[in-house]
């Protein structure tokens, strides 16, 4: 048994909380990496980073990413964590941080951006010294929203707030019981959820993370089985649904953590029954980080992290206290149950009003995805207003064994006829990104493609 060492002083908070140089920080290809080796790699990479105040950390290997994060902190650089590396995103980043340098591993060097490929020849010089101390008020990263509701926006992240958030999350999920838990994640570390829960939560709770990023069910199986228990899967509803869709016996887990989209209670119950895990769902955002969780298989109520509180003002909900440096408006409709618990009613931007009847896209998405035979589906508003001024909804569905007639008949049993999608497009797959989200521009492009293929109507 080992315990995390919560190291802090007036100067700041430690980069890692692992108490001993021999404590395991990460696994790479099933092999453990100690705190001493990790800190040695951090210092070696920091010495090789080129000049510049910002580091675009594009590493897909989670261990490389974590070493890059630590090296940026040691070298006094701010990490840039974008949702993608598209031409539009890079154009925005170059304007935002003209002095940025990119650290990458398995990606091609980015055009117009100075790049440093992660050096595989780093001398193995274990560091048994104390971990670097980072000031609580230090700006350590700019994290960009995923683009699911529009253009990505940058949000400043400070070390103290990040550490407080992930330590609260580790306590809530039972990771601080003295055992060497390992976090295995299907989400990228550049996304706020992946950044906090698959990297920082390990570094700040004395547990380990796996370097990989499995996507397909067989890859998730292999990653879990390559790690000794207790094991924690960090994932999304999309990845979880796909993983549970296979017939194989699932590896045993201690904890499953899900975020990025609402999770149905039935899927949570199925996940717990088949994996033996407790499933925690996280509520949060890029702006706030994680602020609440729930055991979705047991309850629909969310429980705020200690020190946080909600306030409802002028049809807006604000969260404050805890790790937050200032009150933050939430873009969701929440109903307080008591001071510590609330219910999620839907995203403010998701509300639709058709002929005087209201619903939310989140509710409609839940209903269409609950139909037997539907593998994935999403409702959305058309990319432009209808000529007659009547709001109509469109939907994309992956359901190879269903006909449009049978799907509409099943959906009619679940939603008001006004909210039946028109048009309804059957597609082979939805354009989800690595975090399981659907960027708005990708949905608009899919809508244009489907309309052209259907001759302008469906």
Q: What is the pLDDT of residues 180-234, one digit of tens each?
A: 999 999 999 999 999 999 999 999 999 999 999 998 899 999 999 999 999 999 9
Question: Tell me: the pLDDT tens digits for 127-154?
Answer: 999 999 999 999 999 998 865 555 678 9
Question: Tell me: the pLDDT tens digits for 264-293?
Answer: 899 999 999 999 999 999 999 999 999 999
CATH number at residue 152: 3.40.50.12780
Kindly report the number of other CB atoms within 10 A of residue 97's CB atom.
Answer: 18
What is the reported pTM? 0.82
Kindly report the number of other CB atoms within 10 A of residue 432's CB atom.
Answer: 18
Name the one residue in this structure whose structure tokens are 């033996």. Answer: 276
Question: Tell me: the pLDDT tens digits for 404-440?
Answer: 999 999 998 888 888 888 889 999 999 988 778 888 8
Q: Residue 394: which of 429, 368, 413, 433 has the closest Cα?
A: 368
Q: How far apart are CA 205 and CA 3, in angstroms?
A: 8
Q: Which residues pair with 311 in a beta bridge?
A: 318
CATH number at residue 396: 3.30.300.30
Structure tokens at 253: 């887990």
Structure tokens at 81: 């964590």
| Statement to judge: residues 406 and 286 lie in one domain | no
Percent of the chain at pLDDT > 90 equals 62
Q: How far apart are CA 229 and CA 371, in angstroms?
A: 35
Q: Is the dihedral of CA 203, 207, 211, 212 positive or negative?
A: negative
Parent domain of 449:
355-453
Q: How far apart are CA 54 and CA 102, in angstroms?
A: 9
| Statement to judge: residues 292 and 360 lie in one domain | no
- Tell me the pLDDT band of 388, cut-offs 50, 70 and 90: very low
| Statement to judge: residues 227 and 97 lie in one domain | yes
- Domain for residue 363, yes or no? yes
Average pLDDT over residues 101-130: 86
| Statement to judge: residues 261 and 177 lie in one domain | yes
| Statement to judge: residues 295 and 363 lie in one domain | no
| Statement to judge: residues 395 and 253 lie in one domain | no
Average pLDDT over residues 242-252: 86
Q: How far apart are CA 378 and CA 366, in angstroms?
A: 9
Residue 8 pLDDT > 70, yes or no? no
């Amino acid at each position: 048994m080992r315990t995390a060492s919560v190291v802090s002083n007036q100067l700041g908070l430690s980069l890692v909380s692992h108490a001993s140089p021999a404590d395991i920080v990460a696994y790479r290809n099933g092999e453990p990496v100690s705190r001493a080796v990790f800190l040695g790699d951090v210092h070696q990479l920091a010495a090789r980073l080129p000049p510049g105040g910002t580091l675009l950390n594009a590493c897909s290997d989670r261990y490389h990413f974590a070493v890059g994060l630590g090296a940026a902190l040691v070298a006094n650089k701010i990490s840039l964590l974008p949702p993608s590396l598209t031409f539009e995103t890079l154009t925005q980043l170059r304007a935002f941080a003209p002095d940025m340098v990119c650290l990458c591993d398995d990606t091609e060097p980015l055009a117009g951006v100075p790049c440093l490929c992660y050096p595989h020849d780093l001398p193995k010089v274990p560091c048994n010294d104390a971990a670097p101390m980072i000031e609580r008020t230090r700006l350590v990263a700019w994290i960009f929203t995923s683009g699911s509701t529009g253009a990505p926006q940058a949000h400043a992240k400070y070390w103290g707030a990040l550490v407080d958030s992930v330590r609260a999350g580790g306590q809530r999920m039972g990771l601080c019981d003295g055992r060497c838990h390992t976090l295995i994640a299907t989400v990228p570390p550049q996304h706020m959820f992946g950044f906090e829960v698959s990297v920082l939560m390990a570094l700040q709770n004395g547990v380990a993370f796996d370097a990989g990023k499995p996507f397909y069910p067989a890859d998730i199986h292999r990653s879990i089985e390559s790690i000794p228990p207790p094991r924690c899967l960090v994932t999304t509803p999309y990845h979880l649904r796909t993983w549970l869709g296979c017939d194989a016996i699932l590896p045993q887990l201690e904890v499953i953590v899900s975020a990025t989209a609402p999770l149905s209670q039935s899927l949570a119950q199925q996940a717990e029954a088949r994996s033996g895990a407790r499933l925690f769902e996280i509520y949060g955002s890029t702006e706030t980080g994680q602020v609440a969780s729930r055991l979705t298989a047991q309850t629909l109520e969310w429980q705020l992290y200690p020190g946080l509180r909600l306030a409802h003002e002028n049809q807006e909900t604000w969260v404050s206290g805890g790790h937050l440096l200032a009150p933050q408006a939430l873009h969701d409709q929440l109903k307080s149950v008591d001071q510590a618990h609330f219910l999620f009613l839907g995203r403010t931007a998701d509300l639709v009003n058709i002929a005087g009847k209201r619903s939310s896209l989140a509710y409609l998405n839940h209903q269409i995805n609950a139909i037997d035979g539907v593998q994935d589906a999403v409702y959305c508003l058309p990319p432009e207003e209808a000529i007659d001024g009547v709001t109509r909804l469109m939907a994309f569905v992956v359901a190879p064994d269903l006909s449009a007639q049978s799907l509409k008949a099943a959906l009619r049993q679940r939603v008001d006829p006004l909210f039946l999608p028109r048009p309804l497009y059957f597609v082979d797959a939805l354009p989800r990104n690595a975090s399981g989200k659907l960027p708005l521009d990708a949905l608009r492009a899919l809508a244009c493609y489907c309309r052209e293929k259907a001759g302008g109507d469906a």
